[in-house]
């Protein structure tokens, strides 16, 4: 029925209820480029087809390229999400921990103190360059910091 790819693209736009402009925006291509493809002036290139398949994973690539098969892939949820009956029969896996709605989970920030070995190794590396270490400042992602001055413990 749709022997030319531009006709299949037109059909796909109709099914998705997309205007050519919106479709071009979704794919991240120039609107004029899509216009040339849909008018038959240019044939779609690999990049165009790849973007379409990535942005619309439900489209059947065989149909898009050759016209064979259905427009959309068969439902393959069972391959990705397991047996639906299993999900319904066991909605909560045994190894989960439940929290009450009022219970707030607070992140625990751990700031490990530098080990004596790492400090000594650092000092040795500094002294190998014949420079004296004055201060080490460790700045953490939460905005706090720790200062370490060798010799002051």
Asked whether 68 and 60 are in contact (CB, 8 A), the reply is no
16 within some domain = yes
Please state, in angstroms and rounded to a whole number, the distance separating the CA atoms of residues 49 and 65: 9
Query: In the beta sheet, which residues pair with residue 145?
Result: 139
- DSSP letter string over 13-64? HHHHT--HHHHHHHHT--HHHHHHHHHTSS---HHHHHHHHHH-TTB-HHHH
Per-residue pLDDT, 79: 44
> Is a pLDDT exceeding 90 seen at residue 19?
yes
91 within some domain = no
Of the pLDDT bands very low, low, confident and very high (cuts 50, 70, 90), residue 137 is confident
Q: What is the mean pLDDT of the chain?
A: 77
- At 69, give phi and psi (nearest 5°): 90, -165
> Is a pLDDT exceeding 70 seen at residue 150?
yes
pLDDT digits (tens, 9 = 90+) for 102-114: 666 666 666 666 6
The CATH code of the domain that includes 44 is 1.10.260.40
57 within some domain = yes
Q: What is the domain range of residue 57?
A: 5-66
Question: What is the number of domains present in the chain?
Answer: 2
108 within some domain = no
Give the pTM.
0.47
Per-residue pLDDT, 5: 87
38 within some domain = yes
Per the structure block, which two tokens stand in for 28? 């991240």
Classify residue 72 by its DSSP letter. B
- Where a domain ends, among 27, 51, 66? 66
Asked whether 51 and 28 are in contact (CB, 8 A), the reply is yes
96 within some domain = no
């Amino acid at each position: 029925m749709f022997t030319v790819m531009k006709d299949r693209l037109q059909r796909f736009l109709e099914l998705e209820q997309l205007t050519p402009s919106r479709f071009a925006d979704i794919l991240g291509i120039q609107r004029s480029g899509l216009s040339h493809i849909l008018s038959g002036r240019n044939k779609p290139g690999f990049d165009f087809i790849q973007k379409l398949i990535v942005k619309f994973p439900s489209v059947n690539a065989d149909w898009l390229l050759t016209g064979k098969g259905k427009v959309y892939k068969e439902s393959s949820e069972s391959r990705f999400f397991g047996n639906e009956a299993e999900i319904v029969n066991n909605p909560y896996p045994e190894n989960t921990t439940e929290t009450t709605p009022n219970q707030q989970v607070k992140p625990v920030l751990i700031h490990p103190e530098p080990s004596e070995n790492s400090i000594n190794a650092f000092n040795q590396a500094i002294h190998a360059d014949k420079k004296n270490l004055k201060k080490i400042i460790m700045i953490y992602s939460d905005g706090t910091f720790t200062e370490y001055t060798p010799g002051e413990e």
